[in-house]
Amino acid sequence: MFRSLFVYMVVMVLSNFNMNARAQQKAVDTMQGKELEQVVITATKTTRKIKDIPAPVTVIKGSAIEKMGSLRLNEVLSELTGVQIVRSTEGNLGVQMQGLNSEYILILIDGEPLIGRVNNVLDLTRITVNNIERIEIIKGPSSSLFGSEALGGVINIITKSGAVDKFHGYAQAVYRKYNVLDISAEAGEQKKKAGWYLFADRQHGNGYFAKGSTDAVTKTVAPYTTYTFNGKFSLQLNARQKLSVSSKYYDERQSNRAIILNASAGNRIASQWQYRKDLSITPAYTYTISEKQKLQLHNYTTLFSSATLFRHENNNELYSDTRFRQLFNRIEAQYDYKPGQKHLLTIGIGDAIETVKASDYIDGNYFNQLYIFGQDQFQLIKDVSIIAGFRYDKHNQYRDRFSPKLAAEWKVTPQLGLYTNIAGGYKAPTFEQLLLNFTNPTVGYTVLGTNAAKQGLKALTDEGQIQTVLIEPGDNHLKAESSVAINAGAKYNPVNGLWFSLNIFRNNIRNLIDFNTIAIKTNRSSVYSYFNHNRVFTQGLELQADHTIAPGLSVSAGYQYLVAKDKDVLEQIKKGEMYYRDAATQTDHKVTASMYGGLYNRSKHSGNMKLEYSNAPYKFDVSLRCIYRGRYGSGADVNGNLILDDKREYAPGYVLLNLTVRKKIRSFILEAGCNNLTGTINELDTSIIPFNWFAGTSVKF
C-alpha cells in the first residue's frame, strides 16, 4: 500500500512541475549563485570558496539533509558518490572512501575529532543530523593538517550555531517503521555581543531481524534509546576579540539477546546490555589582530565510555562485563597572516594527550603527541594557485612523522578548472592494536595486541586452552602506516545550471596493519594478533554531474570506478606461488592475475542518481534517490587460499530507491517517505535496512 501511495504522489508532483515556473526562476538563480560562492573550511583550515579548492571536496548543506528525511549520519553518507557504508562484526556502521576503510577516515564535529572507535570503526549511528548546518568531505590524505586517522580523508560535521538576530526555535518528530521515534528541538538567539544555541534529540527503536538472517535469537539491529545534547555560547568582547564555548553529550543504551557458544556446557542464551556515553567541551578564543592577521586558540576535551554486559537468562548471573574509558585532550593555536589579496600563510602548534582505561587492555595506555603544521596558499602566476603544506608529529609511542602536501589549480577558462595534489599520510597504531587482550564472550576467539601477544599467549597455554601455535609472537613493534596519494581532476561549468567534475585518484599504503591467526584454541576458535605486512593500493576515478533541468527541477548523478588490491598477493601470483584448491578433484591450481578480485568489501562499480523537485508557490518538494553498488567480496573463502578469486566469494550487487515528500503549511512542515522502496535485501550485507517507511512533522518559531 505504501509503495503504491508513494509512486502515485511522485506522478502527481512531476505532472505539475511546470506550474508557476516563472515565479520560481528568480529563487533558483539566487540559489545557484550561492552554490558557486559557498565556502569550505576543512580542506585548508581557512575559509575558501569551494570552486577554488584543488581537491575532491563535497559539501552537503543542512537543507539537502532535510529533503532526504535522514536521521543519522550513515543515511546521509550512503547516498554520496565514492562513499560506502559497511557494518563491522560488532554491528557498528562505518564509512569507506576511495576504497579505504573507516580506520583511515577522520570524523570531526566542528573541527574536533570524535573518539570511541570499536575495532577501529566509529559508529556513524551515534551522530544525529538534525542539528547539522553542513557536512564537508575531503577525500585523500589530510595528515598535513589533521595528523593520524586522516590518511584516507576527513568528514567534518559543522553544527548549527543559532547566529540570527532574534530568538528562534525548531521542533521535530519523526516516526518510522520498527517503532522508531525521533524527537528533537532547538532554540537560539544572537544579540549584539552574545549568542547562545541549545539542541536536544531523543531516538528510540525496537530493532529488527534482517530478512534472511539465520539467527532467531540476536536481532540484527538491537533495541536502543539514544539522547543527544548540544550547546553553544559566544561573546564578542570587542571588535577584535571573541570568546566561544561549545559542548555536546551523547547517551545510548542497547538491549539484545545472544547465544553463548560453549562446547562443554552446551549453548546458552544470555541477555546483552550495552551503554555508550560521549561528553566534550571546547572553549575557544579568536583575536583578529588586524585585517591581515588572526590568532585562534582552542582547547578540546572529550570523554568516551562504554560497557557491555552479558547475563545468563536462566538465573540472571553475570557472565561477562567489559568496560572501556577513553579520554582525549588537545590544545591548539593557529596563526593566519595575509600579506596580500592572493597570499595566505598559516602556521599552528598543538599538543594532544590520550589515555585509555579498559578491562581488556594491558598497562601502557598513554599517548602524547606534539605537532606543528604550516601552509602557504598563494597565486604563482595568473590563473594558477598553489597550496603547499606540512605537518610534523612527535609521538611517545612511534617515530616522528613528517607529512607533506602540494596542490595546484589552473583556471583554464572561467568555466573550466584543472587541479592536482599529492600528499603524504599516516596512521598511528591504536591502543587496541597495541594493548588489547580480549576474548569474545559468546564465540570464544581471542585478540591480542602486539604488546600483549607474548604474555597473553603464554597465559592461554598455561591454562590448557591452546591446541596449536602457528606464529610464535616475538618483540613485534608496530610501525605507523604511511601513504602517498595523488588526486587529479577537473571542474567544468559549461552553462549556468550545469556542473561536471572528474577526480582520478591513487593511494599507495605501506606498513598496513592487519591481524593474523597466531594460534588455534582447543575450542577450535582462533587467537589473533596484529602485524605490519601488507602493501596495498587503491585507484580509480569519480564522475559527478549536476543539472538544473527547469526552475525547481534538478537531477544529479555520480559514478565511481575502483580497483583495490594487495601488492604482496599480486607478486605471489606473478611468481606462480598462489594456488587454489578445486573441491571436486581435490587438486591445486595456480591463481591467475585475472582471477584476483582484490580487497574484500570493495565494489569495482558504484553510483547514485538524484531527482529533486521544489514547488515554491505551493511550498512542497519531492526527492527521489537511487543508490547502486556492484558486487563485492563478502569475506567468504571457498577454496582455502584466503584471497578473493572465486565467483562464489562475491556478494551480489544491489539497487536502493529512497523517496521523500515534504509540504510546508505556514510554520509547519509535513514529511513522508520511505527508504529502500523496492524492499531490496542482501543476506551478506546487514547494513541494508529493509523497506522502511516514515512520517513526521516539524515547526519553526
Q: What angle do CA 659, 662, 666 make, to 5 degrees?
A: 175
Q: Report pLDDT for 398.
A: 81
CB atoms within 10 A of CB 686: 17
Average pLDDT value for residue range 405-431: 94
Average pLDDT value for residue range 295-299: 97
Q: Report pLDDT for 265.
A: 56
Q: Taking all residues of the chain, what is their mean pLDDT, rounded to a whole number?
A: 89
Q: How far apart are the first and last CA of the chain?
A: 35
SS3 of residue 38 by DSSP: coil
Torsion 434-437-442-445 (CA) sign: positive
pLDDT in tens, 112-144: 999 999 888 999 999 999 999 999 999 988 999
Domain limits at 512?
Answer: 2-700
Rounded CA separation 242/70 (Å): 34
Domain count, the chain: 1
Task: Find, among 257, 254, 271, the residue nearest to 216 by Cα.
Answer: 257
Q: Report pLDDT for 88.
A: 81
Q: Report pLDDT for 212.
A: 65
pTM higher than 0.85:
yes
Q: Report pLDDT for 444.
A: 84
Task: Find, among 686, 506, 696, the residue nearest to 99 by Cα.
Answer: 506
Q: Report pLDDT for 684.
A: 72
For residue 347, what are the contacts with CB-CB under 8 A and spacing of at least 6?
334, 335, 372, 373, 374, 375
Ranges assigned E (strand) in 191-317: 194-205, 224-236, 241-260, 268-288, 293-312
Rounded CA separation 628/606 (Å): 5
Confidence category of residue 441, pLDDT binned at 50, 70, 90: confident
pLDDT in tens, 29-84: 434 444 546 788 998 999 888 888 888 899 999 999 999 999 999 999 999 999 99
Write a three-state SS string for 603-643: ECEEEEEEEEEEECCCCEEEEEEEEEECCEECCCCCCCCCC
Contact 248, 280 (CB under 8 A): yes
- The burial of 315, by beta-carbon neighbours within 10 Å (0-12 exposed, 13-18 middle, 19 or more buried), is given as exposed
Whether residue 176 has pLDDT greater than 80: yes
SS3 of residue 331 by DSSP: strand
Rounded CA separation 544/559 (Å): 7
pLDDT in tens, 676-699: 999 888 777 777 888 999 999 999
Rounded CA separation 38/60 (Å): 11
Which residue's entry shows cell 584543472?
A: 418
CB atoms within 10 A of CB 593: 11
pLDDT in tens, 214-260: 677 888 889 999 999 999 999 999 999 999 999 999 999 999 998 88
Contact 153, 137 (CB under 8 A): yes
Inter-CA distances, 151 with 137, 167, 524, 661, Å: 13, 42, 36, 38
The domain that contains 72 carries what CATH number? 2.40.170.20
Q: Report pLDDT for 4.
A: 45
Q: What is the DSSP letter of 436?
A: B
Rounded CA separation 347/334 (Å): 6
Average pLDDT value for residue range 633-647: 87
All cell numbers assigned to 506: 591513487
Torsion 123-129-133-136 (CA) sign: positive
Q: What are phi and psi of 126, to 5 degrees?
A: -70, -15
Average pLDDT value for residue range 538-545: 97
- The burial of 247, by beta-carbon neighbours within 10 Å (0-12 exposed, 13-18 middle, 19 or more buried), is given as middle
